[in-house]
Amino acid sequence: MRRYRRTAFLLLLPSLVLVAVFVYGFIFWTGELSLTNQNDLFVPQVRFVGLENYQRLFAHPRFQIDLRNTLVFSLIFIPGSLILGLFGALLLNTGVRGEGFFRTIFLMPMALSFIVTGVAWRWLMNPTSGLNLLFDALGLGFLKSGWYTDPAVGIKAIALAAIWQLSGYTMALYLAGLRAIPRELYEAAEVDGATPWQAFRYVTFPLLTPVTLSAVIVLGHISLKIFDLVVAIAGISGGPAFSSDVPALFMFVTTFQANRFAQGAAISIVLLVLVSFLVIPYLYWSLRQEVAE
Amino acid sequence: MKKRAKAWGIGALLGLLIAGLGLAQGGKLEIFSWWTTGGEAAGLFKLFELYKQKHPGVEIINAAVAGGAGSNAKAVLKTRMLGGDPPDSFQVHMGHELIDTWVVTGFMEPLDEIFQKNGWEEVFPKGVLELLKWNGHYWSVPANIHRANVLWYNQAIFEKYGLTPPKTFDDFFAAAEKLKAAGVIPLALGDNGIWASTHLFETVLIGTLGPEGYKGLWTGATDWKGPGVRQALETFARMLDYVNPDHAARSWDQANDLIIQGKAAMYIHGDWANADFMAKKFEGYGWAPAPGNYGVYDALSDTFGLPKKAPHRQEAIWWLELVGSKEGQEAFNPLKGSICARTDCDPKLFNPYLQWAMERWKTDTIVPSLAHGAAAKESWLAAINDTMSLFVTSRNVDQAQAMLAQACVDAGVCK
């Protein structure tokens, strides 16, 4: 037994060291950097400045817009993907013909990189071509929009592209979840005289909660960290008046274009804190589940 | 036993490999740039060709990273430089982008000896030598000069409405009003990359403050909170009333397409637009200095420098000598669509616009471009770009002026 434990430890050691250095070490380093005045490639006297970078950050008009954009994006993207995914899964679960074919089609966008999706949607949502032309041809001119070039739309247009890409993924999750529900439960419900809606509301829906929760975690951290989709659609400037800008983009520009490393580190730490709001309760919840089992 | 023999074999092979690498180190040159398309790549390859003729033994490694205005390349370069793995020489904009990012921070070698040996102090204009200098030393070799403050116009439209290139802002607004009434887009803009708006604003700053007032912005001599900057912001806001509504969706070259298609009448942009006209086989364009910019040459330049830790120093010095030579500049610039930084190039090699620019280069007052890294360091430029992103939509003059003033303080130039 002891021997096994030692072997296991030795085998784990390399990855433990790598994770300790390259994940936790660098997180710590970033945190430390964010408290200094290292806001240039070369600073003659590096010193701690406390929370100055954070104060500046929260006072910055661009960062305020970014936080609001993240909220708007999440509120459209997460429910949008969940509802579309659930809807698709329910339809496919009725046993339509060619289920495998449709499943593949809906899941395919997830296999694409955000850059590919972004370029395609950038063309689709170009105000003088793409979707607007289609709407015109169909007599649906009222649907026309400036999309990502209209400051009033901005991030909402990006959220549409993201929904397109990830609703197939939530569909696959829900489909697996639906398949895992024992048939007997529906039979029992039927015996008790439940309508199809009641069966969905009181059997399907509660039993899908774990799936929904995992999906929210995955989608939630995507929406907090989104970067490539925004760059591909709205460009590195984040659209007019930062209407499509997100914190990750601001971090990139601050760090790698403006050389304000400490300021960029502060943005990263804020992002980390936001993501941990999402991940820590989830870890807590899933660990508790395991113990209960 | 067998295993051990195998291990020895592998060891020997590795040894040979390392030795081989060592030998190959002798003749190499790694050049880092963001020249990957069209005329710029053609110009770069022409230089490589000339280099190979002079130094046949040297293997050239082309480390180019794609992306407009070098936005991606600069990030890659930063990680390489900070990681102690610099290329032998790299493309960098003349002025503060080079000085504040790499020279002040101690990453570069001074090039005074190369300048003296090649007699470059006589052939480069004074305005350029000033921008290359810091602390009494030269730090990079300019390959070319682009002009940023040019007004491009569609000749057919100008003839149809009886217009002449506007010399002042008043002329500009009169012409713009006339065009707007006729249903023509007066001014093309493609600020999908916000630098294009900063670029337009910079020509308005020059036109409002004059060359000395504009230069003073970067030294603290001109007050960012003063009436001049305020007036420039107001003029710029008024100009934005006349641009194509889909400007945020277009890149700079897609804005140029509006001129080519006859949808827009004017375009205030750098002279790479000229190369774009030629590449797209369009001849019905004319040019003039941007409104209020007569007698001023708003310049930017791609230069090459020598990093302290360059692995192939001698090969890099040969490269710099070629880049600054008459032969090198005459080969590179007609392809790149820019003029020589030297004043002794043969005008016959260049197209009519470039000949015009060469004349201006000798007589105009030279000022450094903001949007293209010459006037201010990168963090300052990023802050001004941020201001423009908000201003183009909000047109809030008070907020923009306050942000510009703060950016100058943050840059350590204003108090």
- Site from A236, A254, A255 to mutate, B interface, most B CB atoms within 10 angstroms: A236
For residue B74, the chain A residues in CB contact (below 8 A) are 256-257
Q: What is the mean pLDDT of residues B319-336?
A: 94
Q: What is the 3-state secondary structure (H, E, C) of B219-288?
A: CCCCCCCCHHHHHHHHHHHHHHCCECCCHHHCCHHHHHHHHHCCCEEEEEECCHHHHHHHHCCCCCEEEE
Q: Rounded mean pLDDT of chain A?
A: 89
Count Cβ neighbours within 10 Å for each residue of A224-245 and write b for 16 or more, e otherwise: bbbebbbbbbbbbbbbbbbbbb
Higher pLDDT, A128 or B182: B182
pLDDT in tens, B284-313: 999 999 999 999 999 999 999 999 989 999
Domain membership of residue A197 (yes or no) is yes
B23 confidence band (pLDDT: 50, 70, 90): very low
Domain enclosing residue A187, as ranges? 61-292
- What residue type is A125 in one-letter code? M
Q: Render pLDDT for B222-263 as a digit per residue (tens, 0 to 9).
A: 999 999 999 999 999 999 999 998 898 888 989 999 999 999
What single letter denotes the amino acid at residue B75?
A: A
- Do residue A257 and residue B106 have CB atoms under 8 angstroms apart? no
Contacts of the segment B22-26: beta carbons below 8 A, 24+ positions apart: B24/B59, B25/B311, B25/B312, B26/B57
> Helix, strand, or coil here: A189?
helix
The pLDDT tens digits for A197-256 are 888 888 888 999 889 988 999 999 899 999 999 999 988 888 888 999 999 999 999 998
* Residue A24 within any structural domain of the chain: no
What is the per-residue DSSP string for B384-410? Answer: HHHHHHHHHHH--HHHHHHHHHHHHHH
Q: State ipTM.
A: 0.76
- A39, A62, A146 member nearest B386 (Cβ): A62
Domains identified in chain A, total number: 1
Residue A50 burial (CB < 10 Å; 0-12/13-18/19+)?
A: exposed
CATH code of domain B29-145+302-353:
3.40.190.10
Q: Which residues of A touch B78 (CB under 8 A)?
A: 41, 256, 259
Q: May I ask the CATH class of domain B147-299+369-410?
A: alpha beta
> Which string of DSSP letters, residue by residue, matches A157-180?
HHHHHHHHHHHHHHHHHHHHHHHT
* Predicted confidence (pLDDT) per residue in B129-166, tens digit: 988 999 999 999 999 999 999 999 999 999 999 999 99
CB pairs under 8 A between A and B: 81
Stretch among A26-30, B86-90, B186-190, B246-250 having the lowest mean pLDDT:
B246-250
Mean pLDDT of A1-20: 88
In tens, the pLDDT along B97-124 reads 899 889 988 899 999 999 999 999 999 9
Q: How close, in Å, is residue A9 to chain B by CA atoms?
A: 28
Extents of the domains making up chain B: 29-145+302-353, 147-299+369-410
Residue burial A17-40, b: 16+ Cβ < 10 Å; e: rest: eeeeeeeeeeeeebeebbbbebbb
- Banded pLDDT at B55 (limits 50, 70, 90): very high
Q: Which of A109, A105, A84 is nearest to A170 (CA)?
A: A84
Chain A residue with Cα closest to B248: A149
Query: Does a structural domain hold residue A53?
Result: no
Containing B9, the helix (H) or strand (E) segment is: helix B2-24
Domain containing residue A166: CATH number = 1.10.3720.10
* B120-to-A179, A212, B56, B283, B319 alpha-carbon distances in Å: 77, 69, 25, 36, 15
With CB atoms and an 8 Å threshold, state whether A256 touches B78: yes
Query: In the prediction, which pLDDT does A141 show?
Result: 79
Interface of A to B at Cβ within 8 Å reads 39-42, 61-62, 126-128, 146, 148-149, 151, 235-243, 252-254, 256-260
Q: Rounded CA gap, A71 and A266, in Å? A: 19
Q: What was the pLDDT predicted at B22?
A: 43
Contacts of A263 in chain B (CB under 8 A): none
Is there a domain that residue A244 lies in? yes
Whether the predicted pLDDT of B3 surpasses 90: no
